[in-house]
Chains A and B, each alone.
Chain A
Amino acid sequence: MAGWPDGLRKALAVEEIETDLRLRCLLGHLLVYFHVTFSNWSHPVRASLSSAGQSTLTSVPNFLWDSPPTWLLSPGLSRLLLQGGDLLAVLGLIWVFFDCTGPLLLLGLLFAIKLFYYASDFMLLANYDHMHLLLVFVFLISRSRIFFLRLALAVLYILSGLVKLTPSWLEGEYFLSLPGRFPLLPQDHDSVVILCQLVILLEFCGPLCWYSRWRWMRVFSFVNFILFHLYSGAVVGFRYTSLMLPTISCLFQGGWTRPFGEGFRLGRRDLASWVTLALALWGGCVPWMIPGDARLTGEGRYFGCFMYDAERRVTFQYTMWKGDQRVEIEGERLWQRPHNWGVFAWMSACHVVVYEGPEKVLDRWVSSSRRKVASRPLVLDGQVVFNPSPFDFANARQIGDPYMYYAYAKSMISAYRPDRLSLTVYQQLDGHQERHKVLDIPDFEKLNPTYHPLSRNDWILDDTSHQ
């Protein structure tokens, strides 16, 4: 479109994109990745992403607030935003063939929509969406886009390495616990441990190689990252690979002949980009600043990249008393069944028993494994008291997070107004038999816990810190 004002084009530094095919390609890629996200969130449109989430108890608000802004949206408006955004994202891919200013503005709009939902609903948090949002933000605000996108990519890999500095990866427990371990690779204990450590080494040192003046080092690093992504996608699925492979492939164009940082000059206009990347690095260090094992406590983990642990088993129990009615809810999540090629499926089950005085009036399963028919909420006196769908459909990152159970307890209290609610949560990591009790609250309202995302929360238990 030739009609965009020059002032706008200059402010957005559009010419940089128009003269560099790598940036044009990246713009299309970042746009179309919104489609991957929105279609996942909107088919069907989750009730949790609108005011309906409150009444159906499907919503777990982000720890930033008790009442997320998505609760202000009607279901129809939420659907318009998400599905409209889905359509526009693919349109953006097409648009990039004709223009750059319009797609760049569209990128900003879709970023705002995605961030709005992402910051509202705890259940949406995912590593690849963290990464996508950071890359989009850097693309929008930077003026030397290639340099800062490469630096953002380096930061993301380093953050991914940081989060793996746990026994799950350093001692290979993550893959040792999986049936099949590393498909197609040596299966013995030492090989698995070494491979895990090599991945960490790659993520820390590989990005540094890109700035080396030795071409062989840059190419070696690039090839290893490509192989890593090709392999990891086969294990964990498409979403991460489909984000990173095109990004690294585009950004490495030109890196064959010149180190990444060559020719860059520091300028005041780049301050925002530097601050953004510094904050991202700081975010990845937050779990290390908070005492305790973040794999169990989940504290501080969402400010940077966050891993999930394989073969995590979670059991939880809510008990509510109201008058002479007692509701007992027990739930269990096993990590996965034996998988092929990243097709994960976890076993989940929620069981509900309701007593009226001494008499049992209800005893049934309300959910079972994912990928089957939808789960069924517990409705008492016309009020949804418990909905198993957040626990059924929570991904492996959230299901072990004590915050999720805390937030859901608050929702149940708000909906059902019991006289008393108790909550217990146990976790097992990496297939170990040892159970860790992470929550044990006999009376939630009496304790009245508050969640502090940047510091230690005493009501979240961590028995590993006493070892």
Chain B
Amino acid sequence: MAAPAKPVRRTSDWIAACLLAFAVAPASDARAGYADTPPSDAGAVLSRMAAAMQRWEYEGTLVYLHGHHLTTLRIVHRIDDGESRESLLALSGPIRAVARNGRGVTCVLPDAHPISVEPPHPHSGMLREAPLDAERLAPSYLIHPLGDARIAGRDADVIGVIPRDNLRYGYRFYVDQATGLPLKTDLMDRSSTPIEQVMFTELEVIGEAQPLRSAVASPAEQPESDRPRPKAAEIAAETSERWHFARLPRGFRVVAGEQDAKGRRHIMISDGLASVSVYIEPDRGDGLQGATRLGAVHAAGRVIDDHQVTAVGEVPAETIASILSELRPPL
């Protein structure tokens, strides 16, 4: 049994160095000074950002940068009676586009095989609308304000989410002071080097969504205790009767699971911010063997007990490999 990847414990000096590195962005668009805002407000800014995505109608132009890959994207977001309708279209390079409404998402990619995915079951526990839980993140991340900046002509608060080990990535969010929308997002590796950057170059805020006509709140608006989500322990117990993990990297736990009509099992693992999906299905010879990546997304696959298992997530390759190595078939 392969041992899980051991976290490299960082000293307080290293954390302080990361704070400095996160604060001094390569583009020098984050101005210094973060002593005025208490750390507790950083969590509030992130919560406001999560809510803003569902509160505002907007459209704009984004730039996606990964290594030498630069793509311009056009995004449109509308909300009608509480239901979001949105689209994202690549304006450069081969055709790529995605559109979503309440009934699912459809994506067109260069291989010309459109992909359609229905939304998760309301009671599956899948994370899509779950807000950040600062208490849950605390063991794995340091959340700290990093000053302010100006993006797309708008003032923004800069918040750093700094990993405490090398099992996960860090983030730098530039949150619009007026609306809470994320104007820029940097995904950082353990050396505080940006891996991916997504930034608005132009943003038009159309207006606030109209209040829901029905009295039922969206899952993100419901108090944590009221949300009909399976408890992690229950999910873990159920999973152990089927596929399960001998152990998981520090901070990660099984948070949801479901099985689709084709019999493919999907297990979601998360540390509260980073997430990894593990898919298990009968082996048909068309699955990934080994490891690969697309941008900051890593994937790894293998055959276990005549089943193709594939892990996908925005975590370092070592974390993906560790998770996959600890997967066990039903007892």
Are A and B subunits of one complex?
no
Residues on B facing A (Cβ under 8 Å): none
